[in-house]
Structure 1
């Protein structure tokens, strides 16, 4: 098999085509809307939950949400978070039109069950820089009971 070099003209439209990097970019652009719909469009917010001896610590990513549009409810060991992303219409001077918009809006909802019941009276919530932080103390005496097999 003979090896030979092919001269490319960078000014020619096909001379700039790199099949590997251009295909990767094409595939990313092609699948990006579907991936965004899977993760964000269905109202799924990203949540981290950690546990200490006394409490659960929850961090939920809610960028672009106003603090007043977040609701947290606790029912025993079930925690529910809902948030509303509002569509802000941007009016440009000169009557310009929006060419592309990727900003999300709508309702997001997330609910999860924790192993222990939460003490609602001691629960605290803070929202800063797009992150909701929940401190959820465990209710005393709700550790459950393990049954002995007979």
Structure 2
């Protein structure tokens, strides 16, 4: 059995190959082909529309940053809910009113839902969301309980054990 050829501009290595990206690309191509055959109404909503949505998830030392492309979506048409470490982004891409005859439609319309499960708990009080230029950026601060903490090592007098009196050990 052979694997499908990777269609990337970078050299494909085991470390850079993303199977989820391959699945999303395949869904996108399938949706485009299906739209050409049966018409855009059949693929404008549903799993094909959601599967092809571009999304980036970046992890920093203190937060997760999620960028989700939502072209044509207004701020008031998006809802974001956080439960534990699961983020849910829902909304609607509304059909715009047209004056002429629509000959082809490949832009997605209808409801969408994105569920993103993060690897660890986030702090619900440190969530920020902004929608600008068709990109929704959500910054979720990591839970302070899980963040690494540096423990200062102090010097103590030799011979003094824990709880004993020995210079700086009790400080």
Question: Normalised by the shorter chain, which TM-score bucket?
Answer: 0.5 to 0.7
CA contact (8 A) 2:31 2:48 kept: no
* Distance in 2 between residues matched to 1:31 and 1:57, nearest whole Å: 28
* Distance in 1 between residues matched to 2:138 and 2:77, nearest whole Å: 16
Other-structure match for 1:111? 115
* Distance in 2 between residues matched to 1:76 and 1:55, nearest whole Å: 15
* Distance in 2 between residues matched to 1:123 and 1:55, nearest whole Å: 9
Matched, 1:63 2:71: yes
CA drift of 1:39 comes to 9.7
Helix, strand or coil for the counterpart of 2:125? helix
Matches within 5 A, 1:15-30: none
Change (3 A) 1:87 1:142: same
Other-structure match for 2:26? none
**90, 94, 106: which one pairs with 2:98?**
90
Other-structure match for 1:74? 82
* Distance in 2 between residues matched to 1:69 and 1:78, nearest whole Å: 20
Change (3 A) 1:40 1:67: farther
Q: Point out where structure 1 has 5 or more consecutive residues left out of the alignment.
A: 1-28, 144-150
CA drift of 1:101 comes to 2.6
The root-mean-square deviation of aligned C-alpha atoms, in Å, is 2.8
* Distance in 2 between residues matched to 1:41 and 1:113, nearest whole Å: 20
Aligned residues: 111
Q: Point out where structure 2 has 5 or more consecutive residues left out of the alignment.
A: 1-28, 148-171
CA contact (8 A) 2:32 2:106 kept: no
Q: Report which structure shows greater RCO (CA 8 Å, sep ≥6).
A: 1
Matched, 1:140 2:147: no
